[in-house]
Amino acid sequence: MAASQLLDEQDDIDSGDFHVMVMVEDRTCPQIGRTHPSPDTPSSGQVADKPNDSKPTRLARGFRKALRKNQDYIRITIPKSSVSRLPSEWWKTGIAFIWAGFNLILTTVMITIIHERVPDKSVSPPLPDKFFDYVPRMEWAFSVTEVNGMILVALWFIQWLFLKHRAIVGRRFFFLQGMLYLYRMVTMYITTLPVPSMHMDCAPKLYGDSHGKIKRVLQLVSGGGLSITGSHLMCGDFLYSGHTVMLTLTFLFIQEYSPRSLFWRCYHVICWLLSAVGVVCILIAHEHYSVDVVVAYFITSRLFYWYHTMANNQALRGSPHNYLNRTWWNLVFNFLEKNVKTTVPCTFSWPVSLPSACFKNPCKSYSKVQSTRDE
């Protein structure tokens, strides 16, 4: 009995298994021995007149034809390892989203509280700022900042939707966004700066009107905290700049989670220009002090780099010499990144995948079996 094996390594997306096709042929071995020449056997001269490889070719063809007949197939399922180095864990992404939303709402509440403490510009004029001394105010500049910010957020959202590992990237973005809102809330509360320019008209103070303050919070949240929507009429949220945070954070994520080919590098340059022009226009519009923008950029970029340094270097996480482990949010980092065992690659996939059964031929695995038996 002779046996030959046919391995069909098929990665079944639905079950995550490998299938091995084993082909078994029941065939008696041919007897090999000396045979007497037949009268019909051509002489050596006649054989020499034919090509030398004609007989081996006929034997090979006959063997292949015989191999296709009387075959049985056994399907053996070998389970694939269920442990993934990049698990999605969408429930963690949901927790990070709640974290970002909670700090966003808390920041708007803090802005409403701080607004009541901002001194009147007739009593406390704007502080001296070196940038303002040399660059006059342009009224249109802040609209450019907010339009650029909305474009960057839209580009990042579309790019994030098509990322293969969008769950991991999403929870990183939401966690860092929540952290930056939390830090901003603290800096705004502990030091209240006067308005940076005399052109700013702050909404009237409400003092003990709790109902009016709640309405302002809802108005600020519904308008996205943008001046072009008419939702941001309060003052006091100067240190540090929330617009600079979003312009910087979205660009850093766009750059980090995209390829490095020529096309994508051009895309990075465009996004960088949108971010840089938006930040400069904040100062040209005299909507923030220069220190507000510098501190916002520094905190956003350092926090992004610290987080991704620990996330992309597995050896640093448990190292006793890694001082980044001493950050107060290290426990939250370990919770979010515990099961991520490698660097997240810049690969893309469709945001909504249709069931594979809609495209999969149920007889695809046995097409070769059927074709050989049909013969």
pLDDT tens digit sequence for 180-198: 999 999 999 998 999 999 8
**Lowest pLDDT segment from 4-13, 200-209, 357-366:** 4-13
Q: Provide the pLDDT for residue 341.
A: 87
pLDDT tens, position by position, 197-251: 988 888 888 888 888 889 988 988 888 888 888 777 888 888 889 999 999 999 9
Each residue of 293-314: b (16+ CB within 10 Å) or e? Answer: bebbbebbeebbeebbebbeee
Token pair listed for 82: 């269920």
pTM: 0.72
pLDDT tens, position by position, 76-123: 565 555 568 888 899 999 999 999 999 999 999 999 999 989 988 888
Q: Provide the pLDDT for residue 74.
A: 55
Distance between CA 202 and CA 204 in Å, rounded?
A: 6
What is the Rg, in whole angstroms, of the alpha carbon atoms belonging to the chain?
35
Residues with Cβ < 8 Å from 130, sequence gap 6 or more?
Answer: 290
Each residue of 321-348: b (16+ CB within 10 Å) or e? Answer: eeeeeeeebeebbeebbeebeeebebee
**Lowest pLDDT segment from 63-67, 336-340, 353-357, 364-368:** 364-368
Catalytic residue numbers read: 243, 288, 292
pLDDT tens, position by position, 110-162: 999 999 899 888 888 999 999 999 999 998 999 999 999 999 999 999 999 99
Q: How many CA atoms lie within 13 A of 161 on its CB side?
A: 10
Residue 357 has what DSSP assignment? Answer: G
Quickly count helices (H) and strands (E) in the chain. 13, 3
Q: How many CB atoms lie within 10 A of CB 2?
A: 10
Query: 4 falls in which pLDDT band (50, 70, 90)?
Result: very low
- In the predicted model, is pLDDT for residue 75 greater than 70? no
Question: What's the one-letter identity of residue 75?
Answer: R
